[in-house]
Structures are given as C-alpha cells and as structure tokens.
Structure 1
Amino acid sequence: MSGGIIAIVITLIVIGGISLSTVAYFALQRHRADAVAMAGYRKLAEEAAADQRLLLGELQELTGRVAAVEQLLRSVDER
C-alpha cells in the first residue's frame, strides 16, 4: 500500500513540476511581448518629443515674424 502512495506522490510532484514549468514559460513569453511593445512605445515617445522640439522651433520663428509685422504696422500707423 505504501508503494502505491509513493508512486502517486511522485506522479503528482512530476505533474506539478511540469505544470509550473509551463506556466513560467508562458509568463516569460508574455513578459517578452510586453517588453517589445514597451520598446515600441518608447520609440514613439522619443519621436513625439523630437517632433515637439521641431514645432517649438517653428513656432518661435513664426512668433518672430509676427513681431516684425506688428512693428512694421506700428511704424505705418505712426506716420
């Protein structure tokens, strides 16, 4: 009788180990997929920040042009 119990316990330990290994494998695969997605989001965020810097430069240039036009209009009004 105790030989049968030992066999059942060993079988349960083996099945538990296989189950645990399978769950750990799929968790690792999910983590890798998340890491790839996060790398894509990071790249997108860096591109957005670079685009914002370009837009800021263009906005500053336009602000300077508008100031020059305002100054020109003021000088015309003064005459």
Structure 2
Amino acid sequence: MKEIVVPIVVILMVAACVLGGFLLYYKLIQRRTEMAELAMYRELADRTARNQEELNTRLAELIKRVDAVEQLLRSVE
C-alpha cells in the first residue's frame, strides 16, 4: 500500500507545481497586456490634451479676429 501512496503523492505535487506555474505565467501575460493597454490610453490622453490646447489657442485667435471685425463694422455704421 505504501509503495503506491508515495508515487501518487509525488505525482500530485508535481502536477500542482506545474499548474501553479501555468497560472503564474497566465497572470504575467495578462499583466503585460494590461500594461500595454494602459500605455496606449496614456498616449491617447496626451494626444487629446495637446489637441485641446491647440484648439483653445486657435479659438482664442478666432475670437480676437471676430472682435476686430465687430469693431470695424461698428466704426463703419
């Protein structure tokens, strides 16, 4: 009886270690994917912020031009 129990326990321990290794590897791959996605989102957020600043600058320019045109039209009246 003891001759059968020891190999079974060893096989179960090896199987548990292999399964644990697979689970850790899966978690590692999952974390890498999440980090890549986060990097893409950060890049997108940075690009969006830059575009927003550019649009705000252009809008301020347009407001100045419209004000100048309004002044010109008022002076013509």
Partner residue, 1:28? 28
Q: Amino acid of the residue matched to residue 45 of structure 2?
A: A
Runs (5+) with no aligned partner, structure 2: none
Identity %: 39
Partner residue, 1:6? 6
Q: Amino acid of the residue matched to residue 25 of structure 1?
A: Y
CA distance in 2, matches of 1:67, 1:25: 63
* Superposition RMSD in Å: 1.0
> How many residues in Structure 1 have an aligned counterpart in Structure 2?
77
When normalised by structure 2's length, the TM-score is 0.91
CA distance in 1, matches of 2:5, 2:64: 87
**How far apart are 1:76 and its partner, in Å?**
1.4
Is 1:43 aligned to residue 43 of structure 2? yes
User: Structure 1 runs of 4+ off > 4 angstroms?
Assistant: none
**How far apart are 1:58 and its partner, in Å?**
0.3
**How far apart are 1:11 and its partner, in Å?**
0.8
**How far apart are 1:13 and its partner, in Å?**
1.0
> Which whole-Å deviations, capped at 9, do the CAs of 1:2-59 have from their partners, x for residues lacking one?
2311221111111011011011102101210211121111111101100110110000
Runs (5+) with no aligned partner, structure 1: none
